[in-house]
Structures are given as C-alpha cells and as structure tokens.
Amino acid sequence: MGESMAFHSTDRRERYHELWPQLYALTCQESDLIANMANAAAALRQTFGFFWVGFYLVRGQELVLGPFQGPVACTRIAHGRGVCGTAWAERRSICVEDVDQFPGHIACSSESRSEVVVPICVDGSVVAVLDIDSDRLSDFDAVDVEELQHFATMASGWFSTEEHNHEVHPNLVNRLPC
C-alpha cells in the first residue's frame, strides 16, 4: 500500500473501519514490534488528529514509554497509577471524559482534556497499553473503546516472540487485504 493512507468517511466508526485494513496491510509483513507500534501510533494520530497517541510497555512493576506520536510524555508509570496504570492493574479499558475528574490522572500535558486507554494482552496478561489523549473534552466514547479493543487484539500478535504470528479479531477478518 506504499506509505500513505486514504479515507472517505467523516463518521468515526467508519473511519476506524477504513483504518484497520490499511494498518493491517502496513504491519502484516513486519515482525518488528517497535516498527509496528510506531506506525500504529502515527496512523491513529494522522487519521483522527488526536493530541497524543502512544504505547506504554509493561516492564516489571512499571509501564515504560514506547513508540508514540505527539508532545514529549512521562517515561515511567507505576502499576495502578494514573489512567494507564489503572487500566493495566484492572485489565480493562478506561474512557475518561474529563481528565481533571479522574483521581490520580497523570498530566503529561496540560492540553490533554480527555483520554482512552486500552490494554493489550497476551495469554491473559497485559503486555502494554495503548493511550490516546485528546485536547477536547469527552472526545471518546464506547465506539472508540470497542474499535480500539479490536485493534488491541491485532496488536497482541505483534508481541508474540520474533515469530510472524498475528492474531486478528474475527470482526476484522473480512476487511483484511493480506
């Protein structure tokens, strides 16, 4: 597909549905985890214009900053801290309409107003979280959570050793070009 993406819809869910096959095509031949996370962060930010998109990787009892797009961010987050550490500890997606109302929210930027965090799991354990920040209040809802959880299923395949072994959510299968 080259290194460009094309979109037609302005509806967010439709846009996710346009993005997933293009992102899959961009990553399905690539076994390098960092490369795939980097392109995923860029693709999500480019597609929706989010303020910050990135990954935090589980490293012992902390999350450590991984590939991201956007302003510089905090490097380490403890288990159970902030939105990311809570999503990891509770192994669930968290959608925050107003970051100022989330107890313990870690403000990497004062411009971030709302946030969604989705864990990426391998064999039932969280290996990373996808974190997306918006500079608009209430920018995320159940549609984002549902779609990003599909993405997390695809991304979990990137974490399986050195092997090229991509898991694909059943909802995505019909839209995949590879």
Decide whether 28 or 87 has the Cβ nearer to ligand SME.
87
One character per residue 26-65, x = contact with ligand SME (rule: CB under 6 A): --------------------------x-------------
Q: Which residue is nearest to ligand SME (CB)?
A: 82
Rounded CA separation 14/73 (Å): 30
- Does 152 bind ligand SME (CB under 6 A)? Our answer is no
User: 166-173: long-range contacts (C-beta < 8 A, 24 or more apart)?
Assistant: 166/27, 166/28, 168/24, 172/20, 172/21, 172/24
The DSSP 8-state label assigned to residue 169 in this structure reads: -
Rounded CA separation 106/127 (Å): 20
Decide whether 75 or 165 has the Cβ nearer to ligand SME.
75
Q: To which residue do tokens 């925050």 refer?
A: 96
Which residues on adjacent β-strands are paired with residue 64? 57, 76
To the nearest whole angstrom, how small is the minimum distance from the Cβ of residue 126 to ligand SME? Answer: 14
The pairing of beta strand 62-69 with beta strand 52-59? antiparallel
Q: Which stretch binds ligand SME (CB under 6 A): 70-78, 139-147, 161-169, 170-178?
A: 70-78
Cβ–Cβ under 8 Å, residues 130 and 152: yes
| Amino acid (one-letter) located at 17 | H
Interacting residues with ligand SME between 110 and 149 (CB under 6 A)? 112, 115, 131, 133
- Does 84 bind ligand SME (CB under 6 A)? Our answer is yes
Which chain residues interact with ligand SME by CB under 6 A? 52, 73-74, 77, 82-85, 105-106, 108, 112, 115, 131, 133
